[in-house]
Amino acid sequence: MRRPGLNDRGADVAGSPCDIRPSSCRPGGTFGPTAHRPNGSTVRMSGTRSDRRYRTLYLVAGVASILFVLLSLSALAVAAIAPAPVTGGAETLESIADHRATYVAEQLLWIVPGVLPVLTYLGLYIALRDTCPSWALIGVVVGALPWALMLALPVSSHGSLVLVTLSDSYAAADTPEARTAYAAAAAAIIAGIDTPGILGALASVGILVFSVLMTKGPLPRTVAWLGIAAGAVGLLGEVLRSALPSIDAVHGLLVGAWFAMVGVSLLRRAARMSRRFAPVGAAS
């Protein structure tokens, strides 16, 4: 039995509806949903009504992305008030004890907002799924996993809430041996934070995957190239963290700018959907 609108060879016949189907993600192919017309031409479809179902997700993802940047800036501001020593277990525990509230606030500002990039990646997946569904899904898993794990493990690249508990125990210890043990445990945690890890590399790979997809997708190319730079610098920073500590600052600036621009792009996409599919007479 033939499908309506197709001849024996499976081609569109004159007067039949457009055959809307997602394109493949092969290099050089047509990206996004495509309409195949009876005359053989191919038209890229954008802003279809089916996409409007995700308008709320675009809004939430856009706001989450911008809020993530603002909270990260707040964490940097709090850290500037009373920065903890970066070396020495005993020195770190004593500094935390002297500035406990500030240190806890800083760590919460680094760790808790980790859920926000997860929402951002979900919005990016929906926006770029027609570019290449497989790689868009890979980008979500690889990019969101480090941020989700940060919520389970109370450790950030700037410290750990575990150190707060050790600081309290260190202050309450009444023997030099006990204090030495707590200081050694703190030193081990600090060494683990400073050691290049798989989570930081995965976060950079996630940004790279989505940014490469953006070069062929509906989001601005400027955001794509910025993300490619952020991902590349992030991977380089994981390798050269000990030899070139300043690269973390460059990476942080690039990632912050990328998330901010992604957030604006997703909000604009949601706004365009709202205007394009507004009911007739809604403006009156």
Q: Is residue 208 part of a domain?
A: yes
pLDDT at 84: 65
Same domain, 96 and 39: no
Mean pLDDT over residues 123-137, rounded? 92
pLDDT at 255: 93
Q: Where are the beta strands (DSSP E) in 96-233?
A: 155-156, 159-160
pLDDT category, 99, cuts 50, 70, 90? confident
pLDDT category, 263, cuts 50, 70, 90? very high
Q: Which of 15-29, 83-97, 121-135 has the lowest mean pLDDT?
A: 15-29
CA angle, residues 176, 181, 187, in degrees to nearest 5 = 120
Same domain, 269 and 234: yes
Same domain, 109 and 31: no
| Share of residues in the chain with pLDDT > 70 (%) | 73
Same domain, 177 and 236: yes
Q: Is residue 73 part of a domain?
A: yes
Same domain, 31 and 153: no
**67-71 own/partner pairs: CB under 8 Å, 24+ apart:** 67/113, 67/116, 68/113, 68/116, 68/117, 68/120, 68/259, 69/256, 69/259, 69/260, 69/263, 71/109, 71/113, 71/116
Same domain, 40 and 62: no
Same domain, 37 and 83: no
Q: Is residue 13 part of a domain?
A: no
85: number of Cβ within 10 Å: 14
d(CA 7, CA 91): 79
51-77 as b/e: b if 16+ CB within 10 A = beebbebbbbbbbbbbbbbebbeebee
Count of residues making up the chain: 284
Same domain, 189 and 260: yes
**Cα dist from 211 to 146, 189, 245, 268, 284, whole Å:** 17, 33, 25, 18, 40
Q: Is residue 186 part of a domain?
A: yes
Indicate the number of domains in the chain. Answer: 2
d(CA 120, CA 135): 16
Q: Is residue 284 part of a domain?
A: no
pTM of this structure: 0.73
Q: Which of 35-44, 95-104, 129-138, 146-155 has the lowest mean pLDDT?
A: 35-44
pLDDT at 14: 40
pLDDT at 208: 94
Q: Is residue 242 part of a domain?
A: yes
> For residue 62, which amino acid is it?
G
List, for residues 147-169, the tens digit of each pLDDT value: 887 777 777 777 788 888 888 88
pLDDT at 196: 57
Same domain, 208 and 120: yes
pLDDT category, 41, cuts 50, 70, 90? very low
Same domain, 199 and 168: yes
Same domain, 39 and 64: no
pLDDT category, 276, cuts 50, 70, 90? low
Q: Is residue 3 part of a domain?
A: no
Of 198 and 171, the structure prediction assigns the larger pLDDT to 171
pLDDT at 114: 86
Q: Which of 43-47, 107-111, 142-146, 205-209 has the lowest mean pLDDT?
A: 43-47
Same domain, 34 and 172: no
Task: Say if residue 44's pLDDT is above 70.
Answer: no
Domain that holds residue 241: 50-276
Of 125 and 192, the structure prediction assigns the larger pLDDT to 125
Q: Is residue 260 part of a domain?
A: yes
